């Protein structure tokens, strides 16, 4: 190769080609420089990571140290004392809480219609002197606070409460005993009569509301130990019924009872004004089931029912206990109203009819006929009547369908005197408007100076616009235009109480006068 081989067309010199060795050295140099660059970059990254890690370690140490310092005097998150959250509180705050708890603590216990409250003072409730906030905070290790923070802790388990156990036993026993007096006992599996469908059906075991004192005590002591403010007792605190297992036999007995009750629809006519019906619902009250699940009517129950009916058919002046339409149970005796029938003959007639199940009506002869007969539990009058409740100082009038159509506050005879309104069942004798209720008699005045003044031929009473007597022509319902107000305890004051009559507001007396009929029953009672 000559020099001319490395010149261009114009005679310029061209670069000479490098040898393979040169090219290889150049490539190796480039690789070495790249490796050095990468190494320097990696070294810089390592320095940054080391610096970052060092910073994180310093920060972690600072946070950890701060946590140790903080949780040495503050309760950790997720920490409670019974039902009270004490997360983040200082020992001073928790100590104040403990002190307040001792003074104001109360526990309300309830379930199954039972409710009672136990106050700290009732049982001398207090915390053990060693149960301090400092002692409680020591139960969680501040040096492992990151680990401790993972768990929910209730420190109430470390509290040691003290109280007068005998006082607790006595309080709880009285409360449970009072509840159990009216509690529902458990019901074994049986057949039950449905008043709506008028049929018997199987009913499985049903727990009642009768409490087990020992179980209530155990749960109460646990609640006190854990400073709980509310305790719901649960199923294990009530008497449970025996296990079932006789559903098939009792279902068959229910069907047999339904067939037996369906045979009864006997109507007893009481004069022309009332009737008494023995239907499936009444027969259901007499059903009995023996140990072999055989169904029959209990003759003893039938006889008892007949005796009660016969007593009502000879009830004049006697004691009756009945349910007023608003649900109040009332017992009343006295008065001139009542039925009269031959007791023995009536009992035989009813007993024979129940045995024979006649299709036609059965007539019961009555010497004296009332104006209605609701029957048991004790009303020998109809749905239409006037009810005067002396204890409530309130009167109500129910119509032929038993609907309340009139009511008012009243003032009855002066209490604790000879002028008290008599209790009893009577009827409206007649109606008069207007009416003079004046009479004359001896009036004794006891003067302030101790002397006594006697007025002969003193005029008693006033003229009224509406008069509706129900005890002879002496005691009745009437307007009392001179009274400023009615109801309450006014009848206890001689200046307001009447001489035995039922004082009514004038407008209410006018309403009643238009509604009432001669012969309507008036029941006055406490």
Distance, in Å, from the CA atom of 351 to the CA atom of 523, rounded to the nearest integer, reads 31
Residue 318 carries which DSSP code?
S
Question: Which region among 120-134, 277-291, 386-400 has the lowest average model confidence (pLDDT)?
Answer: 120-134
Q: What digits encode the pLDDT tens for the residues 441-483? A: 666 666 778 787 777 776 667 899 999 999 999 899 999 999 9
Residue 31 domain-assigned? no
69, 90, 117 — which closes off a domain? 69
* DSSP H helix total and E strand total for the chain: 11, 29
Beta carbons of 203 and 190 less than 8 angstroms apart? yes
Residue 153 domain-assigned? yes
Q: 46 or 421: whose pLDDT is higher?
A: 421
Beta carbons of 514 and 465 less than 8 angstroms apart? no
Strand ranges inside 346-384, DSSP E:
362-364
pLDDT surpassing 70 at residue 6: no
> What pLDDT score does 411 carry?
98
Distance, in Å, from the CA atom of 230 to the CA atom of 234, rounded to the nearest integer, reads 13
Distance, in Å, from the CA atom of 73 to the CA atom of 288, rounded to the nearest integer, reads 73
Residue 199, helix vs strand vs coil? strand
Question: In this structure, are 213 and 273 located in the same domain?
Answer: no
**Residue that is written with structure tokens 């136990």 in the block:** 118
Q: What digits encode the pLDDT tens for the residues 301-333? A: 999 999 999 988 888 888 999 999 999 999 999
Burial of 477 (0-12, 13-18, 19+ CB in 10 A): buried
Question: What Cα–Cα distance (Å) separates residue 91 from each residue in 85, 88, 135, 170?
Answer: 13, 10, 9, 36
Question: In this structure, are 83 and 65 located in the same domain?
Answer: no
Give the structural domain span for 427.
385-525
Residue 97, helix vs strand vs coil? helix
Q: Which of these, 476, 468, 465, lies nearest to 500 by C-alpha position?
A: 476
Question: In this structure, are 201 and 331 located in the same domain?
Answer: no
Beta carbons of 201 and 192 less than 8 angstroms apart? yes
Question: In this structure, are 471 and 493 located in the same domain?
Answer: yes
Question: In this structure, are 452 and 504 located in the same domain?
Answer: yes
At 39, the pLDDT band (50, 70, 90 cuts) reads confident
Question: In this structure, are 436 and 475 located in the same domain?
Answer: yes
Spell out the alpha helix ranges (H) of 288-342: 299-312
Residue 513 domain-assigned? yes
Token digits for 76? 């950790």
Question: In this structure, are 273 and 142 located in the same domain?
Answer: no
> What pLDDT score does 212 carry?
96
pLDDT surpassing 60 at residue 242: yes
Distance, in Å, from the CA atom of 250 to the CA atom of 260, rounded to the nearest integer, reads 15
Residue 473 domain-assigned? yes
At 146, the pLDDT band (50, 70, 90 cuts) reads confident
> What pLDDT score does 21 carry?
81
Question: In this structure, are 113 and 144 located in the same domain?
Answer: yes
Q: Evaluate if pTM is beyond 0.85.
A: no
Residue 156 domain-assigned? yes
Residue 354, helix vs strand vs coil? helix
> What pLDDT score does 8 carry?
57
User: Which residues are CB-neighbours of 218 under 8 A, at least 6 positions away?
Assistant: none
Q: Provide the number of structural domains found in the chain.
A: 4
Burial profile 203-238: b = 16 or more Cβ within 10 angstroms, e = fewer: beeeebbbbbeebbbebbeebbebbbeebebeeebb
When pLDDT is averaged across residues 357-367 and rounded to a whole number, the result is: 90
At 83, the pLDDT band (50, 70, 90 cuts) reads low
Count other Cβ atoms within 10 Å, centred on residue 294.
10
Largest CA distance in the chain: 179
């Amino acid at each position: 190769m000559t020099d001319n081989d490395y010149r261009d067309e114009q005679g310029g010199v061209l670069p000479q080609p490098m040898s393979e060795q040169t090219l290889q050295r150049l490539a190796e140099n480039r690789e070495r420089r790249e490796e050095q660059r990468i190494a320097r970059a990696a070294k810089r990254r390592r320095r940054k990571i080391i610096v970052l890690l060092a910073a994180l370690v310093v920060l972690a140490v600072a946070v950890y140290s701060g946590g140790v310092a903080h949780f040495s005097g503050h309760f950790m998150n997720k920490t409670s004392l019974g039902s009270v959250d004490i997360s983040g509180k200082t020992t001073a705050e928790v100590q104040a809480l403990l002190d307040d708890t001792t003074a104001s603590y109360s526990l309300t216990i309830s379930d199954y219609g039972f409710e009672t409250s136990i106050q700290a003072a009732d049982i001398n409730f207090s915390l053990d002197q060693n149960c301090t906030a400092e002692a409680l905070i020591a139960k969680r290790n501040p040096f492992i606070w990151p680990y401790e923070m993972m768990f929910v802790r209730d420190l109430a388990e470390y509290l040691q409460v003290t109280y007068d156990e005998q006082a607790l036993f006595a309080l709880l026993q009285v409360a449970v005993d009072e509840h159990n007096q009216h509690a529902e006992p458990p019901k074994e599996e049986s057949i039950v009569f449905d008043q709506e469908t008028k049929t018997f059906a199987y009913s499985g075991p049903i727990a009642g509301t009768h409490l087990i004192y020992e179980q209530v005590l155990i749960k109460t002591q646990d609640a006190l130990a854990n400073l709980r403010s509310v305790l719901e007792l649960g199923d294990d605190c009530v008497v449970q019924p025996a296990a079932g297992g006789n559903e098939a036999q009792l279902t068959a007995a229910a069907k047999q009872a339904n067939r037996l009750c369906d045979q009864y629809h006997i109507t007893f006519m009481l004069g022309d004004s009332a009737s008494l019906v023995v239907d499936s619902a009444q027969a259901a009250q007499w059903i009995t089931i023996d140990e072999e699940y055989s169904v029959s009517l209990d003759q003893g129950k039938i006889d008892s029912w007949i005796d009660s009916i016969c007593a009502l058919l000879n009830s004049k002046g006697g004691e009756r206990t009945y349910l007023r339409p608003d649900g109040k149970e009332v017992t009343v005796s006295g008065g001139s109203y009542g039925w009269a029938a031959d007791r023995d003959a009536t009992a035989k007639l009813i007993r024979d009819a129940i045995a024979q199940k006649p299709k036609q009506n059965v007539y019961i002869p009555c010497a004296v006929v009332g104006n209605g007969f609701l029957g048991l539990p004790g009303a020998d009058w109809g749905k239409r009547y006037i009810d005067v409740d002396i204890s409530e100082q309130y009167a109500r009038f129910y119509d032929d369908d038993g609907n309340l159509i009139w009511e008012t506050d009243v003032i009855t005879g002066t209490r604790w005197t000879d002028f008290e309104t008599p209790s009893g069942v009577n009827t409206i004798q007649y109606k008069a408007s207007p009416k003079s209720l004046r009479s004359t008699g001896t009036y004794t005045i006891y003067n302030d100076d101790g002397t006594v003044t006697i007025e002969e031929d003193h005029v008693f009473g006033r003229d009224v616009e509406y008069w509706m007597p129900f005890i002879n022509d002496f005691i009745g319902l009437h307007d009392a235009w001179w009274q400023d107000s009615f109801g309450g305890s006014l009848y206890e004051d001689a200046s307001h109480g009447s001489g035995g009559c039922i004082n009514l507001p004038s407008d209410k007396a006018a309403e009643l006068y238009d509604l009432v009929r001669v012969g309507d029953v008036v029941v006055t009672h406490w």
